[in-house]
Amino acid sequence: MNTKFKTDVFEGLSKSLKTLSSKYFYDEIGDKLFVKIMSLPEYYLTRAEYEIFDTKSEDIIEKLKLNTLDTIDIIELGAGDGKKTKAFLKVLLAENYKFRYVPIDISQHALNALGASLKTEFSDLEIEIKQGEYFGVLEDIKTNKAQKVIMFLGSNLGNLDDEAAQDFLVKLSNALRVGDKIILGLDLMKPKEIVLPAYNDSQGVTKAFNLNLLHRINRELHADFDISNFGHAPEYDEKTGIARSFLVSKKEQKVCFNGDHTCFTFLKDEKIQTETSRKYNDAILQSFLQHTNLVQTSKISDSNNYFNSYILER
Ligand code: AVI
């Protein structure tokens, strides 16, 4: 069952610059830690994006230039906790738009929780939960003629390397029809005094989130990582706008996976890269869009100019 996870971990730890994919952060414990991260004082991203939806949803809706004659599919990639989405849907309902809300997520559990909380808050809302990989589901609903608005929030695009992020946008644009829209939430480049604490909070929640990856490997792949022998070390390059998180080996050590008799050695201070969190500006997004059939039609910022909601059109 864990074959892909195991292959990825073995491959990552065999590289000369060791890596582990951030997509494996999100087990049950990781999900809970991420919810905590989103309300940390240092983690400005969620607050900034929420402020946009809370105070400027009318503006976003106006800029989307929606077709009011037909039912619109509002498709969210990733279920999230729904707070930002609720602020947006509330305004759409108040303005009498005809729409269905379609959250897509790999986790049925996350979808059920979101669906239940939306139903209690908005009894009239039409929701169609879709469990699966984003592009599999988008392919299935491509033939549906309704105008689509894709919501991809939280600067989740930034967790992909640039090449993967560009591929993602190409695939997304290919899954859409002319006239469909995207609301893309991106964290912006800013001084490291603001970015770094967001990835190294004073309560140590982000550290626990990063280290949970090793706990998960121990639990699911029967490894013997001694967690106390690893530290959490985020870095941010202001010039490129790329933040990276690492786990650092505090001493020379060996970690083995039972049953496979496979061991990996770590030097003192050797790093494992676990996450990329890219920060953007308009030019970087433009360069990514060049490879797609998408154009940016507008952008809406929070009051600190920390975060942008970009409106793209196919
Ligand atoms: C989900 N993603 C956009 C978060 C980020 O900011 O890169 C994940 C995260 N990692 C550490 N803190 C939050």
Distance CA 126, CA 288 (A): 34
What DSSP state is assigned to residue 204? -
What is the predicted pLDDT for the residue at 280?
A: 98
Task: Please give the ipTM for the structure prediction.
Answer: 0.99
Is the C-beta atom of 277 inside 6 A of ligand 1? yes
What is the predicted pLDDT for the residue at 261?
A: 81
The one-letter amino acid code at 189 reads: M
Confidence of residue 260 (pLDDT cuts 50, 70, 90): low
pLDDT per position as a tens digit, 42-97: 999 999 999 999 999 999 999 999 987 889 999 999 987 788 999 999 999 999 99
What DSSP state is assigned to residue 35? H
The answer, yes or no, to whether residue 1 has pLDDT greater than 60, is no
Tokens encoding 159: 């967790």
Task: Return the ligand 1 atom nearest residue 156 CA.
Answer: 3
Instruction: Pick the residue whose CA is nearest to atom 6 on ligand 1.
Output: 277
Is the C-beta atom of 156 inside 6 A of ligand 1? yes
What is the predicted pLDDT for the residue at 108?
A: 87
**In whole numbers, what is the pLDDT of the chain averaged over residues?**
95
109 C-alpha to ligand 1 centroid (Å): 20
What is the predicted pLDDT for the residue at 273?
A: 98
Site to probe by mutation for ligand 1, drawn from 20, 31, 32, 34 as the one with most ligand atoms within 8 Å of Cβ, is: 34
Is the C-beta atom of 275 inside 6 A of ligand 1? yes
Distance CA 244, CA 271 (A): 11
Distance CA 275, CA 278 (A): 10
249 C-alpha to ligand 1 centroid (Å): 22
What is the predicted pLDDT for the residue at 143?
A: 82
Determine the average pLDDT of the residues in 25-44: 94
What is the predicted pLDDT for the residue at 287?
A: 97
Q: How many CA atoms lie within 13 A of 104 on its CB side?
A: 20
Distance CA 42, CA 77 (A): 25
Is the C-beta atom of 234 inside 6 A of ligand 1? no
Contact 167, 134 (CB under 8 A): no
Share of the chain above pLDDT 90, in %: 87
What is the predicted pLDDT for the residue at 222?
A: 95
Is the C-beta atom of 37 inside 6 A of ligand 1? yes
Contact 84, 50 (CB under 8 A): yes
Determine the average pLDDT of the residues in 225-239: 98
What is the predicted pLDDT for the residue at 63?
A: 98
Is the C-beta atom of 206 inside 6 A of ligand 1? yes
What is the predicted pLDDT for the residue at 81?
A: 73
The answer, yes or no, to whether residue 205 has pLDDT greater than 80, is yes
The one-letter amino acid code at 33 reads: L
Cα-Cα-Cα-Cα torsion 200, 196, 36, 3, nearest 10 degrees, comes to -80
Is the C-beta atom of 33 inside 6 A of ligand 1? no
Q: Is the dihedral of CA 143, 148, 153, 155 positive or negative?
A: positive
What is the predicted pLDDT for the residue at 21?
A: 96
What is the predicted pLDDT for the residue at 172?
A: 95
68 C-alpha to ligand 1 centroid (Å): 35
Contact 279, 189 (CB under 8 A): yes
Share of the chain above pLDDT 70, in %: 99
Q: Is the dihedral of CA 159, 160, 161, 166 positive or negative?
A: negative
Rounded to the nearest 10 degrees, the angle between the axes of helix 44-64 and helix 83-94 is 20
Site to probe by mutation for ligand 1, drawn from 21, 31, 37, 236 as the one with most ligand atoms within 8 Å of Cβ, is: 37
144 C-alpha to ligand 1 centroid (Å): 33
What is the predicted pLDDT for the residue at 144?
A: 83
Site to probe by mutation for ligand 1, drawn from 21, 22, 39, 202 as the one with most ligand atoms within 8 Å of Cβ, is: 22
